[in-house]
C-alpha cells in the first residue's frame, strides 16, 4: 500500500485526531458549565467560577436552593419523570403490539398496495411536527382528548410507528422461515410456534425496537407540549418552561442535568441491543 494514502490506512490522520477531539468537546463540553451552574449560588459575570456556592448558602436560606429545590416537590421534577416513563412505557407496549404483525406481513408476504403502504408508513417522519401537532390539537379539543394522558399517548404513536415497523421488519427478514416450518412439520400448533419458536428468536430485535421507541417517546417535546395543554408535564416540557425566558438559573441547570440522566442510562443499555445498521435503512426505495 502506498505510504501517504490516509484514506486507506486504518489509522487516524492528524486532522482526524484533532477533529475527534473538537467534536467531543462540542458535544459534551457544554455540560461542564451546566454542572457548575447547578452547584452555584451566585455566579456573576465575568467570573469563571461561582463566587458563592450553593453549599455555602444552604444553611442560611429559608427557601430550598439549587438541588434542594430541584429535588423538592415544588419543582415538579418527580411528577414529570413519572409521567415521562409512564407515557413511554405505554407507547412502547402499544406500538410493539400493533407493529409486530405488520412487520411480519411486510417481511414475508406480498399484498395489494404493499409499496403504497410502505411509503405511507414513512410519511410521519417527513411531515413537519408542528403541522401535525396543531392539527391534532384541533381534533383532540373537540374529542376531549387534549390535556389527557390518552391523547398524548395516541399522538406519540405517530412518530414512533415508522421506526418500530422498520426495525422489526429488518428482524423478520433476517429470521428466515426454516425453524418455523420444521416446528410445523413436527406438529406444533400456530400459537405454539409463535410462543416457542418465533418470539424467542425475535427477542433481541424486539428489545431493540422497544428501547428505541421508548427513547423517541421520552424525547418528544412538541406533541406533548401542544396536546398536553400544560396539564400533563413531561421532562422535556418541564425544562422548556424553565428556560423559555432565555436564561439558565441554578434550578434550571439542575433540571437540565436531571432531564439528561435517562438519556445516559438508555445510551448505556441500548448500545448492547441496538445495532448501528438499524439507522442506515434507505428511504422509500
Given candidates 66, 193, 215, 232, which one binds other proteins under the rule CB under 8 A? Answer: 215
Query: Shortest gap between Cβ of 25 and other proteins (angstroms)?
Result: 11
Nearest to 136 by CA among 224, 217, 218, 215: 224
Cα separation, 57 vs 207, in Å, equals 46
C-alpha triplet 219, 69, 59: angle, nearest 5°: 150
* Nearest residue (CB) to other proteins, 34 versus 60: 34
Query: Shortest gap between Cβ of 170 and other proteins (angstroms)?
Result: 12
Which cell numbers hold the place of 74? 415544588
Name which of residues 74 to 113 contact other proteins (CB under 8 A).
97-99, 101-102, 104-105, 109, 111
Name which of residues 144 to 203 contact other proteins (CB under 8 A).
154-155, 157-158, 161, 165
Name which of residues 6 to 35 contact other proteins (CB under 8 A).
6-12, 16-17, 19-20, 23-24, 26-28, 30-31, 33-34
**Could you give the C-alpha distances from 130 to 106, 226, 235, in angstroms and in order?**
30, 9, 19
- Contact criterion met (CB below 8 Å) for 54 and 250: yes
Bridge partners, 40 (sequence order): 53
**Helix (H) and strand (E) counts in the chain:** 14, 2
Specify the stretch interacting with other proteins by CB under 8 A; choose among 53-61, 71-79, 187-195, 218-226. 218-226
The 110-129 contact track toward other proteins, x by CB under 8 A, reads -x-----x--xx-xxxxxxx
- At 41, is the secondary structure helix, strand, or coil? strand
Query: Shortest gap between Cβ of 65 and other proteins (angstroms)?
Result: 18
Specify the stretch interacting with other proteins by CB under 8 A; choose among 56-64, 168-176, 198-206, 214-222. 214-222
Amino acid at each position: 500500500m502506498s505510504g501517504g494514502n490516509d484514506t486507506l490506512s486504518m489509522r487516524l490522520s492528524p486532522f482526524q485526531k484533532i477533529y475527534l477531539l473538537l467534536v467531543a468537546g462540542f458535544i459534551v463540553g457544554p455540560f461542564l458549565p451546566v454542572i457548575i451552574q447547578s452547584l452555584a449560588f451566585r455566579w456573576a459575570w465575568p467570573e469563571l467560577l461561582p463566587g458563592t456556592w450553593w453549599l455555602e448558602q444552604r444553611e442560611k436560606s429559608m427557601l430550598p436552593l439549587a438541588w434542594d429545590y430541584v429535588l423538592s416537590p415544588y419543582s415538579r421534577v418527580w411528577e414529570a419523570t413519572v409521567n415521562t416513563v409512564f407515557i413511554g412505557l405505554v407507547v412502547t407496549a402499544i406500538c410493539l403490539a400493533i407493529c409486530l404483525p405488520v412487520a411480519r406481513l411486510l417481511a414475508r408476504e406480498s399484498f395489494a398496495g404493499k409499496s403504497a403502504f410502505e411509503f405511507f408508513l414513512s410519511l410521519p417522519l417527513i411531515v413537519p411536527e408542528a403541522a401535525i401537532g396543531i392539527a391534532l390539537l384541533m381534533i383532540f379539543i373537540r374529542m376531549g382528548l387534549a390535556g389527557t394522558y390518552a391523547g398524548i399517548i395516541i399522538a406519540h404513536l405517530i412518530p414512533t410507528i415508522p421506526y418500530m415497523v422498520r426495525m422489526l421488519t429488518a428482524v423478520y427478514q433476517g429470521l428466515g422461515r426454516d425453524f418455523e416450518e420444521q416446528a410445523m412439520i413436527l406438529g406444533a400448533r400456530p400459537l405454539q410456534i409463535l410462543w416457542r419458536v418465533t418470539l424467542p428468536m425475535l427477542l433481541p430485535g424486539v428489545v431493540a425496537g422497544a428501547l428505541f421507541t421508548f427513547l423517541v417517546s421520552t424525547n418528544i417535546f412538541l406533541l406533548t407540549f401542544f396536546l398536553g395543554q400544560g396539564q400533563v408535564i413531561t421532562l422535556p416540557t418541564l425544562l422548556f418552561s424553565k428556560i423559555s425566558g432565555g436564561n439558565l438559573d441554578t434550578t434550571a441547570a439542575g433540571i437540565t442535568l436531571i432531564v439528561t440522566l435517562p438519556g445516559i442510562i438508555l445510551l448505556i443499555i441500548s448500545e448492547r441491543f441496538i445495532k448501528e445498521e438499524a439507522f442506515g435503512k434507505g428511504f422509500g426505495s
